[in-house]
Structure 1
Amino acid sequence: MIEAGPLMRVRLDLTYEGAGFSGWARQPGRRTVQQVVEDALAVALRLPAVRLVVAGRTDTGVHATGQVAHCDVPELPGTLLRSLRGLLPPDVRVLAASVAPLGFDARFAAMLRRYEYRIADAPGGVDPLRRRFVLGWPRPLDVESMAGAARQLVGLHDFAAFCRRREGATTIRTLLRLDVERDGDSGAEIVCTVVADAFCHSMVRSLVGALLAVGEGRRAVDWPASLLDRDRRSDEVGVAPAHGLTLVEVGYPPDAELGARVEQTRARRA
Protein backbone atom coordinates (compact mmCIF):
# COMPACT_ATOMS: atom_id res chain seq x y z
CA MET A 1 0.00 0.00 0.00
CA ILE A 2 1.06 3.59 -0.67
CA GLU A 3 1.60 5.51 2.56
CA ALA A 4 -0.49 8.60 3.19
CA GLY A 5 1.27 11.84 2.31
CA PRO A 6 0.97 15.00 0.22
CA LEU A 7 -1.41 14.63 -2.70
CA MET A 8 -0.89 15.70 -6.29
CA ARG A 9 -3.67 16.61 -8.66
CA VAL A 10 -3.75 14.47 -11.82
CA ARG A 11 -5.61 15.37 -15.00
CA LEU A 12 -7.15 12.48 -16.94
CA ASP A 13 -8.33 12.66 -20.55
CA LEU A 14 -10.93 10.02 -21.35
CA THR A 15 -12.96 8.56 -24.17
CA TYR A 16 -15.90 6.18 -23.93
CA GLU A 17 -18.81 4.69 -25.80
CA GLY A 18 -21.90 5.58 -23.80
CA ALA A 19 -24.23 2.77 -24.89
CA GLY A 20 -23.25 0.45 -22.06
CA PHE A 21 -23.28 3.06 -19.29
CA SER A 22 -26.00 4.72 -17.23
CA GLY A 23 -24.21 8.03 -17.73
CA TRP A 24 -21.12 9.35 -15.99
CA ALA A 25 -22.17 9.72 -12.34
CA ARG A 26 -22.17 6.84 -9.85
CA GLN A 27 -25.61 5.37 -9.17
CA PRO A 28 -26.42 2.44 -6.89
CA GLY A 29 -26.81 -0.80 -8.83
CA ARG A 30 -25.96 0.76 -12.20
CA ARG A 31 -22.88 0.62 -14.41
CA THR A 32 -21.49 4.12 -14.86
CA VAL A 33 -18.30 5.57 -16.30
CA GLN A 34 -17.30 7.12 -12.98
CA GLN A 35 -17.68 3.83 -11.12
CA VAL A 36 -15.72 1.82 -13.69
CA VAL A 37 -12.83 4.30 -13.94
CA GLU A 38 -12.61 5.02 -10.21
CA ASP A 39 -12.52 1.31 -9.41
CA ALA A 40 -9.79 0.71 -11.98
CA LEU A 41 -7.74 3.64 -10.66
CA ALA A 42 -7.99 2.35 -7.10
CA VAL A 43 -6.58 -1.01 -8.16
CA ALA A 44 -3.84 0.51 -10.34
CA LEU A 45 -2.76 2.95 -7.62
CA ARG A 46 -3.24 0.48 -4.75
CA LEU A 47 -5.57 2.82 -2.92
CA PRO A 48 -8.79 2.07 -1.01
CA ALA A 49 -10.71 4.48 -3.23
CA VAL A 50 -10.20 7.24 -5.80
CA ARG A 51 -12.64 10.11 -6.32
CA LEU A 52 -12.94 11.73 -9.75
CA VAL A 53 -14.19 15.24 -10.50
CA VAL A 54 -15.41 15.50 -14.09
CA ALA A 55 -15.80 18.37 -16.52
CA GLY A 56 -19.24 17.31 -17.77
CA ARG A 57 -21.63 14.67 -16.41
CA THR A 58 -22.83 12.95 -19.56
CA ASP A 59 -26.27 11.28 -19.52
CA THR A 60 -27.12 7.65 -20.17
CA GLY A 61 -26.03 6.61 -23.67
CA VAL A 62 -24.03 9.77 -24.44
CA HIS A 63 -20.49 9.26 -25.75
CA ALA A 64 -17.27 11.19 -25.17
CA THR A 65 -14.03 11.58 -27.08
CA GLY A 66 -12.79 14.62 -25.11
CA GLN A 67 -13.91 14.13 -21.52
CA VAL A 68 -11.66 15.51 -18.75
CA ALA A 69 -11.53 14.58 -15.07
CA HIS A 70 -9.15 15.05 -12.16
CA CYS A 71 -8.26 13.17 -8.99
CA ASP A 72 -5.94 13.84 -6.05
CA VAL A 73 -3.53 10.96 -5.39
CA PRO A 74 -0.17 10.39 -3.67
CA GLU A 75 1.76 9.77 -6.90
CA LEU A 76 1.47 9.33 -10.65
CA PRO A 77 3.20 6.12 -11.74
CA GLY A 78 4.70 6.14 -15.22
CA THR A 79 2.98 2.81 -15.86
CA LEU A 80 -0.53 4.05 -15.02
CA LEU A 81 -1.90 4.10 -18.58
CA ARG A 82 -0.62 0.61 -19.28
CA SER A 83 -2.15 -0.66 -16.04
CA LEU A 84 -5.50 0.98 -16.80
CA ARG A 85 -5.54 -0.50 -20.29
CA GLY A 86 -5.56 -3.94 -18.70
CA LEU A 87 -8.09 -3.06 -16.00
CA LEU A 88 -10.67 -1.08 -17.95
CA PRO A 89 -13.37 -2.62 -20.16
CA PRO A 90 -13.12 -2.00 -23.93
CA ASP A 91 -15.80 0.73 -23.98
CA VAL A 92 -13.77 3.22 -21.91
CA ARG A 93 -10.14 4.36 -22.11
CA VAL A 94 -7.92 6.85 -20.30
CA LEU A 95 -5.93 8.45 -23.11
CA ALA A 96 -3.62 10.62 -21.01
CA ALA A 97 -2.70 11.19 -17.39
CA SER A 98 -0.59 14.16 -16.33
CA VAL A 99 0.21 16.23 -13.26
CA ALA A 100 -2.25 19.14 -13.40
CA PRO A 101 -1.03 22.74 -13.25
CA LEU A 102 -1.63 24.77 -10.10
CA GLY A 103 -5.27 25.83 -9.80
CA PHE A 104 -6.62 23.21 -12.21
CA ASP A 105 -10.14 21.91 -11.58
CA ALA A 106 -11.68 19.74 -14.29
CA ARG A 107 -15.17 21.11 -13.63
CA PHE A 108 -14.85 24.67 -12.37
CA ALA A 109 -11.84 25.76 -14.46
CA ALA A 110 -13.50 24.81 -17.76
CA MET A 111 -14.24 27.70 -20.13
CA LEU A 112 -16.34 25.71 -22.58
CA ARG A 113 -17.77 22.31 -23.44
CA ARG A 114 -18.21 21.34 -27.08
CA TYR A 115 -20.65 18.65 -28.14
CA GLU A 116 -21.48 17.24 -31.55
CA TYR A 117 -24.80 15.68 -32.42
CA ARG A 118 -24.83 13.65 -35.65
CA ILE A 119 -27.86 12.85 -37.81
CA ALA A 120 -28.21 10.92 -41.07
CA ASP A 121 -31.25 11.62 -43.24
CA ALA A 122 -30.09 9.68 -46.32
CA PRO A 123 -32.87 7.61 -47.96
CA GLY A 124 -30.89 4.41 -47.42
CA GLY A 125 -30.42 5.03 -43.70
CA VAL A 126 -27.38 5.19 -41.44
CA ASP A 127 -24.06 3.56 -42.34
CA PRO A 128 -24.12 0.33 -40.25
CA LEU A 129 -20.64 1.10 -38.91
CA ARG A 130 -21.90 4.45 -37.59
CA ARG A 131 -25.29 3.40 -36.24
CA ARG A 132 -24.23 3.55 -32.56
CA PHE A 133 -23.12 7.18 -32.89
CA VAL A 134 -25.47 8.70 -35.47
CA LEU A 135 -29.23 9.24 -35.31
CA GLY A 136 -31.01 7.90 -38.37
CA TRP A 137 -33.82 10.23 -39.49
CA PRO A 138 -36.50 8.83 -41.81
CA ARG A 139 -37.32 12.07 -43.63
CA PRO A 140 -35.20 14.71 -45.43
CA LEU A 141 -34.13 17.66 -43.27
CA ASP A 142 -33.76 21.28 -44.36
CA VAL A 143 -30.31 22.12 -43.01
CA GLU A 144 -30.52 25.80 -43.97
CA SER A 145 -33.67 26.26 -41.91
CA MET A 146 -32.11 24.41 -38.98
CA ALA A 147 -29.02 26.61 -39.17
CA GLY A 148 -31.18 29.74 -39.30
CA ALA A 149 -33.08 28.68 -36.21
CA ALA A 150 -29.82 27.79 -34.44
CA ARG A 151 -28.30 31.24 -34.98
CA GLN A 152 -31.17 32.86 -33.10
CA LEU A 153 -30.39 30.84 -29.96
CA VAL A 154 -26.75 31.90 -29.58
CA GLY A 155 -25.94 34.19 -26.64
CA LEU A 156 -26.81 34.60 -22.98
CA HIS A 157 -30.36 33.34 -22.35
CA ASP A 158 -32.53 31.51 -19.89
CA PHE A 159 -32.84 28.06 -21.50
CA ALA A 160 -35.51 26.84 -19.08
CA ALA A 161 -37.71 25.68 -21.97
CA PHE A 162 -34.94 23.31 -23.08
CA CYS A 163 -33.84 21.97 -19.69
CA ARG A 164 -35.01 19.44 -17.16
CA ARG A 165 -35.00 21.58 -14.06
CA ARG A 166 -32.96 20.57 -11.04
CA GLU A 167 -33.78 22.03 -7.65
CA GLY A 168 -31.62 25.07 -6.94
CA ALA A 169 -29.86 25.00 -10.35
CA THR A 170 -29.94 27.93 -12.75
CA THR A 171 -31.00 27.49 -16.38
CA ILE A 172 -29.24 30.66 -17.55
CA ARG A 173 -26.41 29.76 -19.90
CA THR A 174 -24.18 31.43 -22.50
CA LEU A 175 -24.53 29.51 -25.74
CA LEU A 176 -21.30 30.36 -27.57
CA ARG A 177 -21.97 28.44 -30.76
CA LEU A 178 -24.75 26.44 -32.37
CA ASP A 179 -24.00 25.41 -35.95
CA VAL A 180 -25.80 22.99 -38.24
CA GLU A 181 -24.12 21.76 -41.42
CA ARG A 182 -23.63 18.72 -43.59
CA ASP A 183 -20.36 16.94 -42.93
CA GLY A 184 -17.81 16.22 -45.63
CA ASP A 185 -18.11 15.94 -49.39
CA SER A 186 -20.82 13.30 -49.30
CA GLY A 187 -23.03 15.21 -46.87
CA ALA A 188 -24.22 11.88 -45.52
CA GLU A 189 -24.29 13.20 -41.95
CA ILE A 190 -25.64 16.41 -40.49
CA VAL A 191 -23.56 17.76 -37.61
CA CYS A 192 -24.98 20.03 -34.92
CA THR A 193 -22.06 21.62 -33.05
CA VAL A 194 -23.04 23.02 -29.66
CA VAL A 195 -20.64 25.03 -27.50
CA ALA A 196 -21.42 26.71 -24.17
CA ASP A 197 -19.73 27.67 -20.93
CA ALA A 198 -21.88 24.98 -19.30
CA PHE A 199 -25.10 23.06 -19.97
CA CYS A 200 -28.13 22.25 -17.88
CA HIS A 201 -29.73 18.80 -17.84
CA SER A 202 -30.87 17.58 -21.32
CA MET A 203 -30.18 21.01 -22.84
CA VAL A 204 -28.16 19.86 -25.87
CA ARG A 205 -30.55 17.07 -26.85
CA SER A 206 -33.54 19.38 -26.41
CA LEU A 207 -31.97 22.04 -28.62
CA VAL A 208 -31.39 19.38 -31.28
CA GLY A 209 -34.97 18.15 -30.84
CA ALA A 210 -36.28 21.66 -31.53
CA LEU A 211 -34.03 22.02 -34.59
CA LEU A 212 -35.26 18.69 -35.96
CA ALA A 213 -38.84 19.99 -35.81
CA VAL A 214 -37.73 23.00 -37.87
CA GLY A 215 -35.77 20.84 -40.31
CA GLU A 216 -38.84 18.73 -41.00
CA GLY A 217 -40.98 21.81 -41.59
CA ARG A 218 -43.23 21.14 -38.58
CA ARG A 219 -42.12 24.39 -36.93
CA ALA A 220 -41.12 27.83 -38.20
CA VAL A 221 -37.50 28.96 -38.17
CA ASP A 222 -38.13 31.44 -35.35
CA TRP A 223 -40.03 28.95 -33.15
CA PRO A 224 -37.09 27.70 -31.02
CA ALA A 225 -36.06 31.28 -30.16
CA SER A 226 -39.67 32.13 -29.24
CA LEU A 227 -39.41 29.65 -26.36
CA LEU A 228 -36.64 31.59 -24.62
CA ASP A 229 -39.13 33.74 -22.70
CA ARG A 230 -40.53 30.70 -20.88
CA ASP A 231 -39.57 29.97 -17.30
CA ARG A 232 -40.08 26.21 -17.35
CA ARG A 233 -39.56 23.16 -19.53
CA SER A 234 -41.66 23.19 -22.72
CA ASP A 235 -43.61 20.00 -23.45
CA GLU A 236 -43.52 20.96 -27.14
CA VAL A 237 -39.77 20.35 -27.35
CA GLY A 238 -38.73 16.77 -28.03
CA VAL A 239 -35.50 15.36 -26.62
CA ALA A 240 -33.29 13.80 -29.31
CA PRO A 241 -32.03 10.26 -28.56
CA ALA A 242 -28.79 10.00 -26.59
CA HIS A 243 -26.71 7.91 -28.99
CA GLY A 244 -26.22 10.73 -31.52
CA LEU A 245 -24.47 12.94 -28.95
CA THR A 246 -20.74 13.06 -28.18
CA LEU A 247 -18.73 15.34 -25.88
CA VAL A 248 -15.73 16.19 -28.06
CA GLU A 249 -13.87 18.96 -26.21
CA VAL A 250 -13.49 20.70 -22.88
CA GLY A 251 -11.62 24.01 -23.10
CA TYR A 252 -9.54 25.61 -20.34
CA PRO A 253 -7.83 29.01 -19.98
CA PRO A 254 -4.03 29.41 -19.84
CA ASP A 255 -2.46 27.93 -16.72
CA ALA A 256 -1.93 31.34 -15.11
CA GLU A 257 -5.69 32.03 -15.29
CA LEU A 258 -6.97 28.72 -13.92
CA GLY A 259 -7.39 29.89 -10.32
CA ALA A 260 -9.30 33.01 -11.32
CA ARG A 261 -11.57 30.96 -13.57
CA VAL A 262 -12.37 28.54 -10.72
CA GLU A 263 -13.28 31.43 -8.40
CA GLN A 264 -15.44 33.04 -11.09
CA THR A 265 -17.30 29.83 -11.84
CA ARG A 266 -17.89 28.94 -8.18
CA ALA A 267 -19.22 32.43 -7.47
CA ARG A 268 -21.63 32.27 -10.40
CA ARG A 269 -22.92 28.82 -9.44
CA ALA A 270 -23.46 30.01 -5.84
Structure 2
Amino acid sequence: MGYDGTDFSGWAAQPGRRTVAGVLAGALSRIFGEIAGLTVAGRTDAGVHATGQVCHVDIPAVTWAERGGTLVRRLAGLLPPDVRVRAATAVPASFDARFSALSRRYEYRVTDSPWGADPLRARYLLAWPRPLHLTALNDGSAGLLGEHDFAAYCRRKENATTIRAISRLDWRREPDGVLVATVQADAFCQAMVRSLVGALLTVGDGRRPVSWPAGLLTRDLRASEVTVAPPHGLTLVAVDYPVTEPDFAARAEVTRSRRSLL
Protein backbone atom coordinates (compact mmCIF):
# COMPACT_ATOMS: atom_id res chain seq x y z
CA MET A 1 0.00 0.00 0.00
CA GLY A 2 1.02 3.61 -0.39
CA TYR A 3 0.16 6.90 1.25
CA ASP A 4 1.07 10.56 1.31
CA GLY A 5 2.02 11.09 4.94
CA THR A 6 1.68 14.88 4.89
CA ASP A 7 -1.72 15.05 6.57
CA PHE A 8 -1.30 12.03 8.85
CA SER A 9 0.03 11.84 12.41
CA GLY A 10 1.98 8.75 11.39
CA TRP A 11 0.85 5.15 10.99
CA ALA A 12 -0.16 4.17 14.53
CA ALA A 13 -3.71 4.85 15.71
CA GLN A 14 -3.92 7.75 18.16
CA PRO A 15 -7.08 9.10 19.82
CA GLY A 16 -8.23 12.33 18.23
CA ARG A 17 -5.62 12.22 15.45
CA ARG A 18 -5.80 11.24 11.80
CA THR A 19 -3.52 8.25 11.25
CA VAL A 20 -3.02 5.77 8.44
CA ALA A 21 -3.96 2.82 10.67
CA GLY A 22 -7.10 4.58 11.84
CA VAL A 23 -8.26 5.40 8.31
CA LEU A 24 -7.47 1.89 6.99
CA ALA A 25 -9.08 0.12 9.94
CA GLY A 26 -12.23 2.19 9.47
CA ALA A 27 -12.49 1.21 5.81
CA LEU A 28 -11.79 -2.47 6.52
CA SER A 29 -14.44 -2.52 9.24
CA ARG A 30 -17.03 -1.26 6.80
CA ILE A 31 -16.23 -4.16 4.47
CA PHE A 32 -15.62 -7.02 6.91
CA GLY A 33 -17.27 -5.92 10.12
CA GLU A 34 -15.16 -6.23 13.25
CA ILE A 35 -11.45 -6.79 12.49
CA ALA A 36 -8.47 -7.63 14.68
CA GLY A 37 -4.69 -7.73 14.55
CA LEU A 38 -3.92 -4.90 12.11
CA THR A 39 -0.11 -5.09 12.00
CA VAL A 40 2.26 -3.09 9.82
CA ALA A 41 5.78 -3.75 8.58
CA GLY A 42 7.08 -0.28 9.46
CA ARG A 43 5.35 2.22 11.75
CA THR A 44 6.16 5.42 9.88
CA ASP A 45 6.31 8.74 11.74
CA ALA A 46 4.11 11.75 11.12
CA GLY A 47 4.79 13.23 7.68
CA VAL A 48 6.63 10.17 6.30
CA HIS A 49 5.31 8.65 3.07
CA ALA A 50 5.11 5.10 1.72
CA THR A 51 4.91 3.44 -1.67
CA GLY A 52 5.69 -0.12 -0.52
CA GLN A 53 4.11 -0.51 2.91
CA VAL A 54 2.83 -3.95 3.98
CA CYS A 55 0.33 -4.84 6.68
CA HIS A 56 -1.79 -7.80 7.71
CA VAL A 57 -5.14 -8.14 9.44
CA ASP A 58 -7.02 -11.13 10.85
CA ILE A 59 -10.18 -11.95 8.85
CA PRO A 60 -12.32 -15.11 9.23
CA ALA A 61 -11.70 -17.45 6.31
CA VAL A 62 -15.38 -17.57 5.37
CA THR A 63 -15.62 -13.78 5.29
CA TRP A 64 -12.46 -13.52 3.20
CA ALA A 65 -13.81 -16.08 0.72
CA GLU A 66 -16.94 -13.97 0.29
CA ARG A 67 -15.39 -10.51 0.00
CA GLY A 68 -11.61 -10.80 -0.47
CA GLY A 69 -11.76 -10.87 -4.25
CA THR A 70 -13.26 -7.39 -4.43
CA LEU A 71 -11.32 -5.87 -1.54
CA VAL A 72 -8.96 -3.64 -3.52
CA ARG A 73 -11.80 -2.12 -5.55
CA ARG A 74 -13.96 -1.62 -2.46
CA LEU A 75 -11.13 0.06 -0.58
CA ALA A 76 -10.56 2.41 -3.51
CA GLY A 77 -14.10 3.68 -3.00
CA LEU A 78 -13.82 4.01 0.78
CA LEU A 79 -10.31 5.31 1.40
CA PRO A 80 -9.36 8.98 1.05
CA PRO A 81 -7.19 10.00 -1.93
CA ASP A 82 -3.96 10.05 0.15
CA VAL A 83 -4.14 6.29 0.91
CA ARG A 84 -4.22 3.49 -1.67
CA VAL A 85 -4.16 -0.30 -1.30
CA ARG A 86 -2.85 -1.78 -4.53
CA ALA A 87 -3.02 -5.50 -3.72
CA ALA A 88 -4.46 -7.87 -1.13
CA THR A 89 -3.89 -11.59 -0.74
CA ALA A 90 -4.52 -14.34 1.79
CA VAL A 91 -1.45 -15.41 3.79
CA PRO A 92 -0.84 -18.27 6.22
CA ALA A 93 -1.25 -17.77 9.95
CA SER A 94 2.54 -17.93 10.33
CA PHE A 95 2.97 -14.67 8.40
CA ASP A 96 3.54 -11.50 10.39
CA ALA A 97 3.91 -8.24 8.46
CA ARG A 98 6.31 -6.88 11.09
CA PHE A 99 8.28 -9.82 12.44
CA SER A 100 8.50 -11.94 9.27
CA ALA A 101 10.15 -9.13 7.30
CA LEU A 102 13.75 -9.63 6.18
CA SER A 103 14.39 -5.95 5.45
CA ARG A 104 12.87 -2.52 4.94
CA ARG A 105 14.08 -0.07 2.32
CA TYR A 106 13.63 3.68 2.49
CA GLU A 107 14.51 6.52 0.15
CA TYR A 108 15.16 10.11 1.17
CA ARG A 109 15.03 12.86 -1.47
CA VAL A 110 16.92 16.14 -1.29
CA THR A 111 17.45 19.01 -3.70
CA ASP A 112 20.37 21.41 -3.41
CA SER A 113 19.24 23.59 -6.31
CA PRO A 114 19.60 27.32 -5.55
CA TRP A 115 15.86 27.91 -6.15
CA GLY A 116 14.75 25.16 -3.77
CA ALA A 117 12.15 22.45 -4.36
CA ASP A 118 9.82 22.41 -7.33
CA PRO A 119 6.34 23.36 -6.05
CA LEU A 120 4.81 20.13 -7.38
CA ARG A 121 7.35 18.05 -5.44
CA ALA A 122 7.80 20.16 -2.31
CA ARG A 123 5.73 17.76 -0.18
CA TYR A 124 8.20 14.92 -0.88
CA LEU A 125 11.52 16.68 -1.30
CA LEU A 126 13.80 18.44 1.19
CA ALA A 127 15.31 21.70 -0.04
CA TRP A 128 18.89 21.95 1.26
CA PRO A 129 20.40 25.46 1.36
CA ARG A 130 24.00 24.43 0.58
CA PRO A 131 25.58 22.55 -2.36
CA LEU A 132 25.93 18.81 -1.69
CA HIS A 133 28.78 16.65 -2.96
CA LEU A 134 27.85 13.12 -4.00
CA THR A 135 31.28 11.61 -3.32
CA ALA A 136 31.36 12.97 0.23
CA LEU A 137 27.85 11.65 0.91
CA ASN A 138 28.79 8.16 -0.23
CA ASP A 139 32.14 8.17 1.56
CA GLY A 140 30.44 9.20 4.80
CA SER A 141 27.80 6.50 4.34
CA ALA A 142 30.26 3.66 3.82
CA GLY A 143 31.35 3.54 7.46
CA LEU A 144 27.76 2.99 8.61
CA LEU A 145 27.25 -0.26 6.72
CA GLY A 146 27.03 -3.50 8.67
CA GLU A 147 25.77 -4.40 12.14
CA HIS A 148 26.40 -1.77 14.81
CA ASP A 149 24.86 -0.22 17.86
CA PHE A 150 23.14 2.84 16.42
CA ALA A 151 22.32 4.39 19.80
CA ALA A 152 23.69 7.74 18.61
CA TYR A 153 21.06 7.81 15.87
CA CYS A 154 18.03 6.45 17.74
CA ARG A 155 15.42 7.71 20.14
CA ARG A 156 15.93 5.26 22.94
CA LYS A 157 13.00 3.22 24.22
CA GLU A 158 12.90 1.37 27.52
CA ASN A 159 14.27 -2.20 27.23
CA ALA A 160 14.72 -1.88 23.44
CA THR A 161 17.94 -2.63 21.62
CA THR A 162 19.50 -0.13 19.21
CA ILE A 163 21.58 -2.76 17.40
CA ARG A 164 20.71 -2.85 13.71
CA ALA A 165 22.28 -4.24 10.51
CA ILE A 166 22.40 -1.84 7.55
CA SER A 167 22.85 -3.73 4.27
CA ARG A 168 22.64 -0.71 1.98
CA LEU A 169 23.30 3.00 2.40
CA ASP A 170 24.18 4.98 -0.69
CA TRP A 171 23.34 8.15 -2.60
CA ARG A 172 22.69 8.89 -6.25
CA ARG A 173 22.00 12.09 -8.17
CA GLU A 174 19.16 11.71 -10.63
CA PRO A 175 19.08 13.40 -14.06
CA ASP A 176 16.98 16.27 -12.67
CA GLY A 177 19.63 16.94 -10.01
CA VAL A 178 17.70 15.49 -7.06
CA LEU A 179 19.81 13.49 -4.60
CA VAL A 180 18.32 10.20 -3.38
CA ALA A 181 19.60 8.30 -0.35
CA THR A 182 18.68 4.60 -0.25
CA VAL A 183 18.81 2.97 3.18
CA GLN A 184 18.07 -0.70 3.77
CA ALA A 185 18.27 -2.65 7.01
CA ASP A 186 16.69 -5.59 8.76
CA ALA A 187 14.88 -3.07 10.98
CA PHE A 188 15.12 0.53 12.14
CA CYS A 189 14.59 2.18 15.48
CA GLN A 190 12.58 5.39 15.82
CA ALA A 191 13.97 8.36 13.85
CA MET A 192 17.03 6.34 12.80
CA VAL A 193 16.80 6.88 9.04
CA ARG A 194 16.20 10.61 9.35
CA SER A 195 19.03 10.90 11.87
CA LEU A 196 21.43 9.12 9.52
CA VAL A 197 20.38 11.42 6.68
CA GLY A 198 20.70 14.48 8.89
CA ALA A 199 24.26 13.53 9.85
CA LEU A 200 25.27 12.72 6.28
CA LEU A 201 23.93 15.99 4.88
CA THR A 202 26.44 17.88 7.03
CA VAL A 203 29.16 15.72 5.47
CA GLY A 204 27.82 16.32 1.99
CA ASP A 205 27.92 20.08 2.38
CA GLY A 206 31.43 20.01 3.85
CA ARG A 207 30.71 21.02 7.45
CA ARG A 208 31.72 17.61 8.85
CA PRO A 209 34.49 15.18 7.80
CA VAL A 210 33.54 11.91 6.11
CA SER A 211 34.70 9.98 9.19
CA TRP A 212 32.28 11.74 11.53
CA PRO A 213 29.07 9.65 11.04
CA ALA A 214 30.86 6.34 11.68
CA GLY A 215 32.73 7.86 14.62
CA LEU A 216 29.42 8.35 16.43
CA LEU A 217 28.89 4.59 16.57
CA THR A 218 31.07 4.48 19.69
CA ARG A 219 28.36 6.37 21.61
CA ASP A 220 25.90 4.55 23.85
CA LEU A 221 23.46 7.49 23.97
CA ARG A 222 21.82 9.60 21.30
CA ALA A 223 24.20 12.21 19.83
CA SER A 224 22.70 15.64 20.48
CA GLU A 225 24.70 17.16 17.62
CA VAL A 226 22.87 15.01 15.06
CA THR A 227 19.94 16.86 13.52
CA VAL A 228 16.96 14.74 12.52
CA ALA A 229 16.10 15.44 8.88
CA PRO A 230 12.50 16.58 8.25
CA PRO A 231 10.00 13.77 7.63
CA HIS A 232 8.61 14.88 4.28
CA GLY A 233 11.68 13.78 2.30
CA LEU A 234 11.37 10.17 3.49
CA THR A 235 9.45 7.32 1.82
CA LEU A 236 9.20 3.62 2.71
CA VAL A 237 9.59 1.99 -0.70
CA ALA A 238 9.88 -1.76 -0.08
CA VAL A 239 9.62 -4.55 2.50
CA ASP A 240 11.16 -7.96 1.73
CA TYR A 241 9.97 -11.32 3.08
CA PRO A 242 11.08 -14.97 2.85
CA VAL A 243 9.92 -16.78 -0.27
CA THR A 244 8.56 -19.95 1.34
CA GLU A 245 5.84 -20.28 3.97
CA PRO A 246 7.87 -22.29 6.54
CA ASP A 247 10.37 -19.43 6.73
CA PHE A 248 7.78 -16.88 7.92
CA ALA A 249 7.67 -18.23 11.47
CA ALA A 250 11.41 -18.90 11.55
CA ARG A 251 12.16 -15.34 10.55
CA ALA A 252 9.71 -14.00 13.13
CA GLU A 253 11.49 -15.96 15.85
CA VAL A 254 14.84 -14.47 14.85
CA THR A 255 13.42 -10.94 14.74
CA ARG A 256 11.89 -11.24 18.21
CA SER A 257 15.22 -12.31 19.72
CA ARG A 258 17.05 -9.49 21.49
CA ARG A 259 20.31 -8.80 19.67
CA SER A 260 23.71 -8.03 21.07
CA LEU A 261 27.11 -7.32 19.52
CA LEU A 262 29.66 -10.08 20.06
Unmatched 5+ residue regions in structure 1? Answer: 1-13
Residue from 116, 139, 142 that aligns with 1:151: 142
Equivalent residues in 2 for 1:251-266, closer than 5 Å? 251-255=240-244, 256-266=246-256
Q: Look up the SS of the partner of 1:90 in the other structure.
A: coil
Contact 1:146 1:215 in 2 (8 A): yes
Contact 1:21 1:32 in 2 (8 A): yes
> Does residue 196 of structure 2 align to residue 199 of structure 1?
no
How far apart are the structure 2 equivalents of 1:181 and 1:23?
27
Give TM-score scaled by structure 2 length: 0.94
Unmatched 5+ residue regions in structure 2? Answer: none
Give TM-score scaled by structure 1 length: 0.91
Residue from 21, 34, 54 that aligns with 1:48: 34
Q: Look up the SS of the partner of 2:132 in the other structure.
A: coil
Identity of aligned residues (%): 59
Q: Look up the SS of the partner of 1:200 in the other structure.
A: coil
1:123 Cα offset (Å): 1.7
Contact 1:26 1:34 in 2 (8 A): yes
Aligned to 1:16: 3
Count of aligned pairs between the two proteins: 254
Contact 1:155 1:174 in 2 (8 A): yes
Residue from 221, 234, 250 that aligns with 2:223: 234
How far apart are the structure 2 equivalents of 1:149 and 1:54?
31
How far apart are the structure 1 equivalents of 2:92 and 2:116?
46
Aligned to 1:11: none
How far apart are the structure 2 equivalents of 1:92 and 1:50?
20
Q: Look up the SS of the partner of 1:130 in the other structure.
A: coil
More displaced, 211-220 or 48-57? 48-57
Residue from 231, 245, 266 that aligns with 2:234: 245
Aligned to 2:15: 28
CA RMSD of aligned residues (A): 1.3
Structure 1 stretches of 4+ moved >3 Å: none
How far apart are the structure 2 equivalents of 1:30 and 1:268?
32
How far apart are the structure 2 equivalents of 1:52 and 1:237?
34
Contact 1:23 1:32 in 2 (8 A): yes
1:66 Cα offset (Å): 0.2
Aligned to 1:73: 59
Aligned to 1:103: 94
1:103 Cα offset (Å): 2.1
C-alpha deviations, 1:100-137, integer Å up to 9, x for none?
14521100000000000000111222122111111011
Contact 2:35 2:59 in 1 (8 A): no
